[in-house]
Each structure stands twice: as structure tokens, then as C-alpha cells.
Structure 1
Amino acid sequence: MPDLIYKLCFYVPDTHLEQVKTAVFAAGAGHIGNYDCCAFQVRGEGQFRPLDGSQPFLGQQGEVEVVSEYRVETIVTEASLQAAISALRLAHPYEEPAIDLFRLEPLPA
């Protein structure tokens, strides 16, 4: 039975884009056939408001912060999933990075 494949999507500020991608790829994400470091990225704006008890990388508690960020999508096998997510969290500057995970269905033959 083939390994399950997931799409891993995360948001990262411009300043840490390459650092986080490198960590995720080193943990096994981004392989498609005979290629590695495969990803799609698009720039946009993210926003958040740090609440009491937070330790924000950017911004001040109680104030809305708008940040130029990238949305990065890559794929990862189930075997590499935990390592990729752990690497993402360790390399990411945010206390709570936004991460989406989608299980993919095999393509029809």
C-alpha cells in the first residue's frame, strides 16, 4: 500500500521564507517523482492581534499587526509528516504559526 500524501500549507513572513522552506525540505517534504524542494508560494498580507500572555515575534499585545507573508504549499508523505511539521515549527519565528494540512487522494490512472 503506498504511503499517504498530504498537502502542507503554511504562512511565513518574508524574512523567514527561505529558512522555513529549507527546514521543511530537509525533513522530507517537497518530493514529487524525481524532483525535490517542490513548492508553490504566493505573497500576501496576514494579520493578527497578540493577546495577553502572548510573546509575539512582531507587533504589540492588543494591537492588530499586518504583515507581508508568503503562503507556501508543498507535499509530504505520511512517513515524513511529523518531522516536517516539527521542523516547520522550530524554524518559524511565530509563536503559533498558521498551518493547514490536507490529505490528498491518488490521481486516477
Structure 2
Amino acid sequence: MTAEPGRGPLDVLVVYVPVGDTEAVLQALFAAGAGTVGDYRECAFVTRGTGQFRPVAGATPTIGTVGDLEKVSENRVELVLDRALRADVVAALRAAHPYEEPAFHVLETADVDPA
């Protein structure tokens, strides 16, 4: 028996996205199957903050200049995904995100219903 989307072991993806690119990244993540919780689709939590980074030699920054500290208005986006979709969702994230090296992490959730 195959688990229904959003009802099996889940991961949580957290990614930082420039404000103006957030909707496009979310749509790519949803298309890859992320953001499903039971009978709900396109679920996400988005909050605004300031990201910072300093591109170093070898970088090709989308925003900023090599050697200079850059501060950008970004959204922290959090959404769940079926663990089996992890590779596809991360690939979709990398393809849709405007940064050369997007900052993100994937967290495995605890099994709260072992039955």
C-alpha cells in the first residue's frame, strides 16, 4: 500500500529567497510535490528578514559584487514534503532559485504516529 501524499514520513525544507523571487520558487516547489499536508496543497510559511553574504573569488553573484558584503531583503520559506520526493524537490529548488548557491536546509521530522 502506497502512502498518500502528505501522509508519509515528511521532511521540512527551509529556504531563503529574495522577496521578488519567492512566488516563482514556491510554484516550482509545489510543482515538484512539496507543500502537501493531508488534504491540503500549496502549504507554506513565509516570513521576511534580511539575508547577508559576501561573494568571494570564483563566485558569480546574482546580486552584489565579489568581495563586498551584501544585505538583501529575503523571505524565509518553510514547507513540508514527502521524504521520497526530497531529491526532486531540491533539484526544483536549485533550478528555480536565482542565487548561484541558494541557502537552504532539509530537516527530517519525527515519526509521531508509528502505527
Establish whether TM, by shorter chain, passes 0.5.
yes
Question: For the aligned residues, what is the CA RMSD?
Answer: 1.5
3-state secondary structure, aligned to 1:24:
helix
Matched letter for residue 11 of structure 2: Y
Equivalent position of 2:55 in the other structure: 50
TM-superposed CA distance for 1:80, in Å, is 1.2
3-state secondary structure, aligned to 1:63:
coil
| Equivalent of residue 77 in structure 1, options 79, 82, 96 | 82
Q: Distance in 2 between matches of 1:28 and 1:82?
A: 11
Equivalent position of 2:41 in the other structure: 36
Aligned length: 109
Q: Distance in 1 between matches of 2:9 and 2:38?
A: 15
Structure 2, unmatched stretches of 5+, are none
Q: Distance in 1 between matches of 2:85 and 2:41?
A: 14
Give the TM-score taking structure 2 as reference length: 0.90
Alignment of 1:1-109 (within 5 A): 3-107=8-112
Matched letter for residue 71 of structure 1: R
Matched letter for residue 8 of structure 1: L
Q: Distance in 2 between matches of 1:46 and 1:103?
A: 24
Identity across matched positions, percent: 44
Matched letter for residue 13 of structure 1: P
Give the TM-score taking structure 1 as reference length: 0.94
